[in-house]
């Protein structure tokens, strides 16, 4: 299926690398206006340079601070004149033994992975109700199974899954579609590493259970489904968390 996103105004977070960058570039290549957001200004500049048609505008913001969420949406609407889709893709991972997880680490992971998408969605909702728009969140295959040493991350992604469903339930009588995808291993710096703890503390029999049999997928593998969920062509998928883990849950 060819997805038509031409002319859509889209906010993409985490756009300096990984799935966020791939998504921003895919929207731009297909004629959408993209407001690319990240805390990494250098990475944003690279993303903007890769979009040769000029459809990407960048915005540096540290979304772990809820006070930056509404102004980010305001800036996007001021730049693009409207808002058709919000793609909450920014995320962080730490691999740590139980005894090493600090309140600061827990708050950091939940701040980026859960709180920022919620308050961005809150700020975006009036505009999305007007445009009959969409929100696409990023959960994870790890949200639905137990994995050692990543409790903060996996529980945050489970929270994203349920947040997606609850937000959709609240606006179910409107034209807004809110969905999430749950990737498995992704070939990004976060997806292939992210360890913040001492490896000598890990029981390797437990650690290797996190590894899927198939190799990690490139970030570009997920852009087609994200674009479809964000597009007006999707009128029946609402409040779903789509498993796109390359068989991770089957092994």
Q: Catalytic residue positions? A: 153
SS3 content of the chain, % helix, strand, coil (to 5): 50, 15, 35
Q: CA dist 187 to 74, 80, 154, 166, Å?
A: 32, 31, 18, 30
For residue 203, the cross-strand partners are none
Residue 217 near residue 223 (C-beta atoms within 8 A): no
How does 13-36 read in b/e, with b if 16+ C-beta sit within 10 Å?
A: bbbbbbbbbbbbbbbbbbebbbbb
Contacts of 19 (CB under 8 A, 6+ apart): 89, 138, 183, 186, 188, 219, 222, 223, 226
Q: Nearest to residue 159, comparing CAs of 180, 128, 183, 184?
A: 180
Q: Nearest to residue 111, comparing CAs of 140, 91, 127?
A: 91
Residue 166 CA to residue 172 CA, distance in Å, equals 10
């Amino acid at each position: 299926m060819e997805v038509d996103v031409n002319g859509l105004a889209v906010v993409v977070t985490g756009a300096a690398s990984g799935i966020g960058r791939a998504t921003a570039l895919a929207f731009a290549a297909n004629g959408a206006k993209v407001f690319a957001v990240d805390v990494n200004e250098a990475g944003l500049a690279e993303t903007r340079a890769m979009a040769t048609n000029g459809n990407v505008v960048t915005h540096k913001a540290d979304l772990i601070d809820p006070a930056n969420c509404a102004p980010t949406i305001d800036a996007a609407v001021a730049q693009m004149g409207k808002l058709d889709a919000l793609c909450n893709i920014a995320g962080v991972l730490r691999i740590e033994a139980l005894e090493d997880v600090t309140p600061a680490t827990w708050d950091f992971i939940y701040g980026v992975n859960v709180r920022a998408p919620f308050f961005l969605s809150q700020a975006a909702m009036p505009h999305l109700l007007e445009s009959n728009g969409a929100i696409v969140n990023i959960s994870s295959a790890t949200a639905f199974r137990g994995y050692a040493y990543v409790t903060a991350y996996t529980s945050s992604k489970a929270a994203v899954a349920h947040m997606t469903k609850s937000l959709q339930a609240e606006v179910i009588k409107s034209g807004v579609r809110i969905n999430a995808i749950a990737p498995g291993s992704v070939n990004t710096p976060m997806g292939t590493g992210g360890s913040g703890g001492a490896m000598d503390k890990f029981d390797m029999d437990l650690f290797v259970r996190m590894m899927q049999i198939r190799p990690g997928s490139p970030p570009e593998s997920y852009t087609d489904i994200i674009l479809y969920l964000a597009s007006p062509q999707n009128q029946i998928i609402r409040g779903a968390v789509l498993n796109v883990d390359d068989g991770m849950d089957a092994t």
